[in-house]
Chains A and B, each alone.
Chain A
């Protein structure tokens, strides 16, 4: 029977190809999208941790992704610094704008260079530090992957700002300007978005978090290491991924359904022959299902390879990273297979229920 299934698959190469592409498309949709979301979050996480502090201090209700103004008074920095166990503090202004690649959002930070570099170990590896409101520095990754090179201008606050330096290692937002410059652009003198806090003893960060809460009540005090769950709550991401899952399931199932449906009409007489040989309904359903599963498996494999290639190309040509997760690979594979099995079921049952004598005389 295996040879019958393989022969059928080879018999109609175009149909097989179209079905394989359909299933592969579903797999690619799932993997590239979840991989992009994952890559964005992980990348942000890594850079967030790269800032070097263990705690961040914000106004209640203001997240990093929701800010477009500066709500926090910079003078909190001095008060935080006086709390026992706090080693260093650095105020940061955060501004989110549409991404330069057209996908996602891009963050810009206003920093006090001295306190920031002391905390994070950031240093200028090329060019120089910003000196006026029209200058920015970018990290080496962005400089390598985009047009943001020294001497070039990039769009921030709807203005053309000049890249004057490249820093490393990446931490926080990839584009940085002086906090004063950001305050001027956003008309918020002496304000910032958050204050990063570095502890004398990182192991005691929870204790210090508590102490900050007690000393300066009514503010949001977050541990950086707890951020993943916080960041994952990007509004709409869940719905977006669910839509992708439903969409790819529908696309794959429909493609398989159409392919198998035309196939069984074409092979009506062969189904009659199987019946004359004494093949049961179950046998006929299983022949058609096995063919669909084989096509789906090829589609899933092609989809996995394509997704990895696309991920690699995105990683190599843009500042975005695609990170594949085993669980999503498993889900995409299962959806591809389920679509094959589900899509072929109706045609298979129809074939199995055909009248044997009529099927045998089908032209």
Chain B
């Protein structure tokens, strides 16, 4: 059984009196250990899909089954709880807590997750992401590439079922993009982390096991 499965997923935003059909029946399966990239023009519904997959939004129709639990059928509080246990987000804008050090950001994620952290996994993650010497720094003292690596570490530190990344290299230069992408590949390969990544960059999409293309709220190639 796939770790992620959507069935005829629909999302309609209501703006005033106008309905915006952001997703029009999305069927997507992701197997455990896969690295899937999603491409598509701006406005094609990629972020909306990712937000629904991570339980930040409730779809207006269809099913989203994450690791056996249907996100579309549960309450807001339960969706939040599933997100806490199963999802790690990585955003284009890094979204680290500016007042906390890199270490503080990781600890906060562990605290929200409700674990005191697995020391061995943490060492492994920091080694893979080459962050061992950056732990005492605050986000503003780090480069963009380093900040995104901290954000990835934060997403992976609780071993979520799936990491959802929305244009993780969108704010990085090509050199740092390359480093960050390689690290995602490593996490996928070395610890078997399942990743779904939105990207605009065809080269970035190439590194994934599978490419998915979206257009007008639907998957057009898979």
Contacts and interface: CB of A to CB of B under 8 A. Distances in A.
Interface of A: 1, 3-4, 7-8, 10-11, 269-270, 272-281, 283, 356-357, 360
25 contacts: A1-B108, A4-B97, A4-B104, A4-B108, A7-B100, A7-B104, A10-B99, A273-B95, A273-B97, A276-B89, A276-B91, A277-B84, A277-B89, A277-B108, A277-B113, A278-B80, A278-B81, A278-B84, A278-B113, A279-B112, A280-B81, A281-B77, A357-B51, A357-B56, A360-B91
B123 interface: no
Contacts of B104: 3-4, 7
A278 B87 contact: yes
A125 to B, nearest CB: 65
Contacts of A269: 95
A8 B99 contact: yes
- Top 6 A-B residue pairs of the complex, sorted by shortest distance between their CB atoms: A278-B84, A7-B99, A278-B83, A277-B112, A276-B89, A356-B56
Given A1-B108, A270-B97, A276-B54, 7 more contacts: A277-B83, A277-B84, A277-B112, A277-B154, A278-B81, A280-B84, A360-B95
Contacts of A4: 97, 99-100, 104, 108
B56 A275 contact: yes
Interface string B95-123: 11101100010011101110000000000
A3 B102 CA distance: 12
A272 B112 CA distance: 13
B156 to A, nearest CB: 13
B200 interface: no
B211 interface: no
Contacts of A279: 80, 84, 112
Nearest to A11: B99
Contacts of A270: 97
Contacts of B113: 277-278
B85 interface: yes
A357 B57 contact: yes
A3 B111 CA distance: 11
A270 B100 CA distance: 11
Contacts of A1: 108, 111
Contacts of B112: 274, 277-279, 283
B177 to A, nearest CB: 22
Nearest to B113: A278
A233 to B, nearest CB: 55
B87 A3 contact: no
A272 B56 CA distance: 10
Most buried by B among A7, A273, A360: A273
Most buried by A among B85, B87, B96, B112: B112
B83 to A, nearest CB: 4
A10 B96 CA distance: 18
A274 B83 CA distance: 11
Contacts of A278: 80-81, 83-85, 87, 112-113
A212 B158 CA distance: 86
A275 B77 CA distance: 11
A10 B87 CA distance: 31
A170 B77 CA distance: 70
Contacts of A7: 97, 99-100, 104
Contacts of A277: 83-84, 89, 108-109, 112-113, 154
A3 B57 contact: no
Interface string B178-213: 000000000000000000000000000000000000
Contacts of B85: 278
